[in-house]
Amino acid sequence: MSAKIIDGKAIAARIKQQVAADVQQLTAAGKPVRLVAVLAGHAPVSRVYAENQARMCREVGVDYTLRELPAEVTQDHLEDLLRQLAADSTITGIMLHMPLPPQINSQQAQYAIDMLKDVEGVNPANIGHVVYGYSIIAPCTALAVVALVEETGATLRGAEITVVGASRIVGKPVALLLTERGATVTLCQIYTRDLVVHTRRADILIVAAGSPGLIEGRHVRPGAVVIDVGINRVAVPDATGKTVQKTVGDVNFNSVAPQASWLSPVPGGVGPMTVAMLLRNTVRAARLVYGLERPFGKPQG
């Protein structure tokens, strides 16, 4: 067997088109979609991300503004800004770039992001709402994983699903969203004894551990759907023997591809879908802010 590749880029492109149409409709109705991103400090990785985001927002018609704060910003100052953005009725979405400078308590800061405008779904209250099986706005990567699994056509009700990695922002919300869809979910973490016992019995295996190549063919039940969330930069030799940086997932692609029925690649799998879900959440936030949807009226995610 050789796995079919889940083309996250193509699926994300389709979602982006829908988002662009939604944004256009809202704008035409006098309800513009306005996202403000806050960047504290000068982490080069966040700057690149912010520039990509600005471009993508423009592509779908979202009005994007970047608010930059100095690296020495205080907790109070940052939270004041977030509260101003919450109170500003012309702003429909807010996001706060990570990592924050070391003097900032991230969870505390995320708590100051307006719950309805929280396009990344990182306000602890929004993460908590996932316990209900949906959220006002759910974390983007968790939504991306669920969407990719659904794209394969796999039956979720009654499925055995193993999630490797139990972070607040990926593993735990993914496990809860899939539980709500009727799956039997096993959530593994670094202290799990004998990981292979849990991964081998999964119809659907989701890996979000941040450990390059952790999952090999021997971990995978023949015919399983495998979703690789990991994004790891590793040093590898190029054709000339020079060391270069490469992005790899948590799944050893060549070892797992012969075993799986579906496999999401890195790059080109969960990554682009996370961005698509951020855009979709941005529309959802605008609809909530304009009162076109109710927070719990329509399950999301």
Which residues bind to ligand NAD, rule: CB under 6 A? 141, 164-167, 169-171, 188-190, 192, 195, 208-211, 214, 229-232, 270-271, 274
**19 vs 174, which CB is nearer to ligand NAD?**
174
Containing H/E element for 16? helix 8-28
Report d(CA 47, CA 274) in Å as an integer: 18
Q: Rounded to the nearest whole angstrom, what is the least distance from the CB of residue 145 to ligand NAD in the complex?
A: 9
**251 vs 286, which CB is nearer to ligand NAD?**
251
**18 vs 167, which CB is nearer to ligand NAD?**
167
Residue at shortest CB range from ligand NAD: 167
Q: Rounded to the nearest whole angstrom, what is the least distance from the CB of residue 171 to ligand NAD in the complex?
A: 6
For residue 215, the cross-strand partners are 251
Report d(CA 39, CA 48) in Å as an integer: 11
Q: Rounded to the nearest whole angstrom, what is the least distance from the CB of residue 172 to ligand NAD in the complex?
A: 8
For residue 95, the cross-strand partners are 37
Number of residues assigned to the chain: 301
**40 vs 188, which CB is nearer to ligand NAD?**
188
Report d(CA 191, CA 14) in Å as an integer: 39
Report d(CA 66, CA 39) in Å as an integer: 7
Q: Rounded to the nearest whole angstrom, what is the least distance from the CB of residue 274 to ligand NAD in the complex?
A: 3
Q: Which of 141, 159, 147 is nearest to 224 (CA)?
A: 159
User: Cis ω on the peptide bond leading into residue 267 (within 30° of 0)?
Assistant: yes
Q: Rounded to the nearest whole angstrom, what is the least distance from the CB of residue 195 to ligand NAD in the complex?
A: 5
Q: Rounded to the nearest whole angstrom, what is the least distance from the CB of residue 72 to ligand NAD in the complex?
A: 26
Q: Are strands 232-237 and 243-248 parallel, antiparallel or unpaired?
A: antiparallel
**127 vs 270, which CB is nearer to ligand NAD?**
270
Report d(CA 285, CA 279) in Å as an integer: 10
**157 vs 193, which CB is nearer to ligand NAD?**
193
Q: Rounded to the nearest whole angstrom, what is the least distance from the CB of residue 31 to ligand NAD in the complex?
A: 29
Q: Rounded to the nearest whole angstrom, what is the least distance from the CB of residue 287 to ligand NAD in the complex?
A: 24
For residue 248, the cross-strand partners are 232
Phi, psi of 100 (to 5 degrees): -90, 160
Number of helices and strands in the chain (H, E): 10, 11
For residue 262, the cross-strand partners are 4, 225
How far CA 26 is from CA of 31, 232, 283, in Å, comes to: 5, 38, 9
**32 vs 213, which CB is nearer to ligand NAD?**
213
Q: Which of 142, 77, 135 is nearest to 108 (CA)?
A: 77
**270 vs 283, which CB is nearer to ligand NAD?**
270
